[in-house]
Amino acid sequence: MPKRAAKASERIESEETPAVEEAASAAASGSGTRPARRATAETMASRQREISVSEFFTKNRHLLGFDNPAKALLTTVKEAVDNSLDACEEAGILPDLIVEVKEVGNPTNASGASRFRVSIEDNGPGIVKPQIAKIFAKLLYGSKFHRLKQSRGQQGIGISAAGLYGQLTTGRPVVIISKIGKGRPAHRIELRIDTKRNHPDVLKDEIVEWDKEHGTRVEIELVAAYRGGRTGVEAYLEQTVVANPHLGLTYHPPKGEVLSFPRVANELPREAEEIKPHPHGVELGMLLRMLHDSPGKSVKQVLIDDFSRISPALADQVCELAKVKPKTSAASIVGDDVDRLHKALGEVKVKAPSASCVVPIGEELLIEGLKRRFKADFYVSTTRPPSVYRGNPFVVEVGLAYGGELPTDDPADVMRFANRVPLQYQPKACAISEAIYDTNWRSYELQQPRGALPLGPLAVVVHLASVWVPFTSEAKEAVAHYDELLREMKLAVQECGRKLGAHLRARERAVSEQKRLHLFQRYIPEVAEAIGAILSKPKDAVQQSFYSALPNFVRIVQEQPEKPDGEGSPAPSEPPPPASGSEPPPAPPKAAAAAKKGSASAKKAPPPPPAKAPPTKKAPPPPPKKGAPLPKKRTKPELRTQV
């Protein structure tokens, strides 16, 4: 052993030996400075046991969106509304929902949290009785997790988690009423979750009168806080109707008037097709599981049966590339063969996934939805073609509303949607926000502080429709940053941004054109008089020639409002009053000089025509600042809302 290494090992030995002895003697005597060894593998093993998913989420309810009373209320409403919409659409029923949030207790603490009863009633297909208990009182139980089909719910945890939160904070059971058809009984069931077993306890089960033909009503009592603003229940419902034009909704808030949102589309969205995984982007572990879960099948058969877009010829090609015999038993495939198959699947040319498995809102309905929420001057939307991330097909669509009653000085109002569900929390963690922040809105004539949202009367809607939305957590608040998703989102935002920019530039041109005409109109009487004098023609005739040569100008004059004193609107031939504004346009040098000196020529100059209407109404609009909101009034018909 080299000298230095030998010395080091001596030092370690000399340091360790007494410590081990000390610990041993301390353990023997039950005292000493070093802690005694308290647990053995055996004692630890006696404490190791399975953790029920309900117990896990009881401790970690923040992971499911129940981390504070206000958010808990929103999440509860959201989970139930999303389920109702999914169920109605799946059953081909136009959804009619009644949402009620009622305060049933006094504020319990300084933060203003109180006891609320939330009820959500739908006209969906209802739930068969034996399933009710498991759906509402067993976490991770649902119909959507194991399939690749676009829906709002995915995980099979949402509504039972809301019930669990209610039970934890109030001790009250979840109450369900469900009826599956005309002439069938309506069941009313009270449920509690046995968290140790993640199992439902039915407290009450009765048949009740219910005037609905079919549907489900869920009632949950919980400690919550009612908040307004962007993250409140009302904002969620308002955004939900934007993305679901076929939804009819009535909302009873705890205070104030009942809100009604009648549907604006009488057709259901097309039903999303259930698909198999696309071979591009499938992960190795998933491929291995698919092969091993298919006993009795050959590799080729699994490729054809369990993936979308793989024909027998393509399956042969994959096997050839991977140097695996097509007839090899799928369940026996291991090691390098799986690696090569996985690689080959990524290399072969496969058709893009079928567009029928994702159902975007559609460009027209997205605009209808925006109109339902905002009174704007200009709307534009785009739906991108389908794309794939990790084998999952998706479509991104974007809608913009600009001008009108949208606030002019605020940052843009951004609405994020995933499978038609509004996302209200965690904007900074969401790929959708990143796509908007990363867009250069200045090139679309809007102001944008560095790294921030664009400013101006703008609302932006981004919708991601996918057979599986990659959320950053089980609370389903933000979309994960997959490159393929980000790229499509940016392209869609840019597409709409370019159209908005073109619209704003056209408006800007129209405004400066109008300003130029107004400037010209101011001098027409003087010029007409001078030309009339030179040509020995009456001033009025010359003036009229000017107006006829400028149809736009004449139209502006004709649009003058009537005078309140009943004098009527000015005739097109009448000289318009001088424009007034903060900076009056300079008078022609000659007339100005004459006026100043009070000379004879100045006296000959015609006096400014009398004002026929309040001057402010005729003033040319000031030139718009770049990015500043433009005036609402338009003069060119072709510049009306581009929808």
Ligand X SMILES: Nc1ncnc2c1ncn2[C@@H]1O[C@H](COP(=O)(O)OP(=O)(O)OP(=O)(O)O)[C@@H](O)[C@H]1O
Single out the residue of 96, 100, 122, 368 in contact with ligand X (rule: CB under 6 A).
122
Question: Which positions ≥6 away from 422 have C-beta within 8 Å?
Answer: 235, 236, 239, 240, 243, 415, 416
3-state secondary structure at position 295: coil
**Is 497 annotated as ligand-binding?**
no
**Is 9 annotated as ligand-binding?**
no
Rule CB under 6 A: is residue 454 a binding residue for ligand X?
no
> Could you tell me where the beta strands, DSSP code E, fall in 27-109?
96-103
Of the ranges 135-143, 236-244, 260-268, 375-383, which one interacts with ligand X (CB under 6 A)?
135-143
Report, in Å, the least distance between residue 155 CB and ligand X. Answer: 4
Q: Cα–Cα distance between 121 and 176 in angstroms, integer?
A: 10
Count of residues of this chain found to bind ligand X when the rule CB under 6 A is applied:
20
- Could you report how far apart the first and last alpha carbons of the chain are, in Å? 84
CA 460 to chain centre: 9
Contact 609, 576 (CB under 8 A): yes
Indicate the residue among 152 and 539 with the shorter CB distance to ligand X. Answer: 152
Q: Cα–Cα distance between 165 and 136 in angstroms, integer?
A: 12
Alpha helices in 250-382 (DSSP H): 284-292, 299-306, 312-322, 335-347, 363-373
Which residue of this chain has its Cβ atom nearest to ligand X in the complex? 153
Indicate the residue among 248 and 578 with the shorter CB distance to ligand X. Answer: 248
For residue 49, give the amino acid letter: R
Instruction: Give ∠ CA 226-166-216 in degrees, rounded to 5.
Output: 90
**Is 548 annotated as ligand-binding?**
no
Rule CB under 6 A: is residue 472 a binding residue for ligand X?
no
**Is 159 annotated as ligand-binding?**
yes
Q: x/- contact string, 200-219, with ligand X (CB under 6 A)?
A: ----------------x---
**Is 60 annotated as ligand-binding?**
no
Rule CB under 6 A: is residue 127 a binding residue for ligand X?
yes
Indicate the residue among 275 and 291 with the shorter CB distance to ligand X. Answer: 275
CA 344 to chain centre: 37
Residues in the chain, overall count: 643
**Is 153 annotated as ligand-binding?**
yes
**Is 598 annotated as ligand-binding?**
no
Rule CB under 6 A: is residue 158 a binding residue for ligand X?
yes
Indicate the residue among 193 and 435 with the shorter CB distance to ligand X. Answer: 193
Indicate the residue among 216 and 560 with the shorter CB distance to ligand X. Answer: 216
Contact 379, 403 (CB under 8 A): no
Indicate the residue among 142 and 576 with the shorter CB distance to ligand X. Answer: 142
Contact 412, 453 (CB under 8 A): yes
* Window 78-117: residues binding ligand X (CB under 6 A): 79, 83-84, 87
Rule CB under 6 A: is residue 477 a binding residue for ligand X?
no
Indicate the residue among 131 and 356 with the shorter CB distance to ligand X. Answer: 131
Report, in Å, the least distance between residue 124 CB and ligand X. Answer: 5
Contact 543, 575 (CB under 8 A): yes
Of the ranges 66-74, 151-159, 319-327, 575-583, which one interacts with ligand X (CB under 6 A)?
151-159
Return the closest-CA partner of residue 514 out of 376, 636, 378, 409.
Answer: 636
Indicate the residue among 144 and 618 with the shorter CB distance to ligand X. Answer: 144
Q: Cα–Cα distance between 160 and 165 in angstroms, integer?
A: 9
Rule CB under 6 A: is residue 306 a binding residue for ligand X?
no
Report, in Å, the least distance between residue 80 CB and ligand X. Answer: 7
Written as six digits, the tokens of 619 are: 């003033």
Query: HSE on the CB side for 420, CA within 13 Å?
Result: 29
Return the closest-CA partner of residue 269 out of 237, 238, 245.
Answer: 245
Strand pairing of 248-252 and 96-103? parallel
3-state secondary structure at position 229: coil
Single out the residue of 108, 155, 301, 512 in contact with ligand X (rule: CB under 6 A).
155
Single out the residue of 69, 95, 153, 393 in contact with ligand X (rule: CB under 6 A).
153
**Is 569 annotated as ligand-binding?**
no
* Window 20-79: residues binding ligand X (CB under 6 A): 79
Rule CB under 6 A: is residue 180 a binding residue for ligand X?
no
Q: Cα–Cα distance between 494 and 440 in angstroms, integer?
A: 9
Single out the residue of 101, 135, 249, 344 in contact with ligand X (rule: CB under 6 A).
135
Rule CB under 6 A: is residue 624 a binding residue for ligand X?
no
Indicate the residue among 90 and 316 with the shorter CB distance to ligand X. Answer: 90
**Is 426 annotated as ligand-binding?**
no
Rule CB under 6 A: is residue 240 a binding residue for ligand X?
no
Single out the residue of 76, 123, 154, 382 in contact with ligand X (rule: CB under 6 A).
154
Report, in Å, the least distance between residue 315 CB and ligand X. Answer: 33
Of the ranges 97-105, 139-147, 421-429, 603-611, which one interacts with ligand X (CB under 6 A)?
139-147
Contact 479, 432 (CB under 8 A): yes
Could you give phi then psi for residue 80, rounded to 5 degrees?
A: -70, -40
DSSP letter at 537 equals -
Indicate the residue among 100 and 526 with the shorter CB distance to ligand X. Answer: 100
* Window 494-523: residues binding ligand X (CB under 6 A): none
Query: HSE on the CB side for 600, CA within 13 Å?
Result: 0
Instruction: Quickly tell me which residue has 């690689």 as its tokens.
Output: 343
Return the closest-CA partner of residue 354 out of 441, 454, 273, 287.
Answer: 273
Indicate the residue among 77 and 159 with the shorter CB distance to ligand X. Answer: 159
Binding residues for ATP: 83, 122, 143-144, 153-160, 476
- Tell me which residues touch ligand X (CB under 6 A): 79, 83-84, 87, 122, 124, 127, 135, 142-144, 153-160, 216
Binding residues: 83, 122, 143-144, 153-160, 476
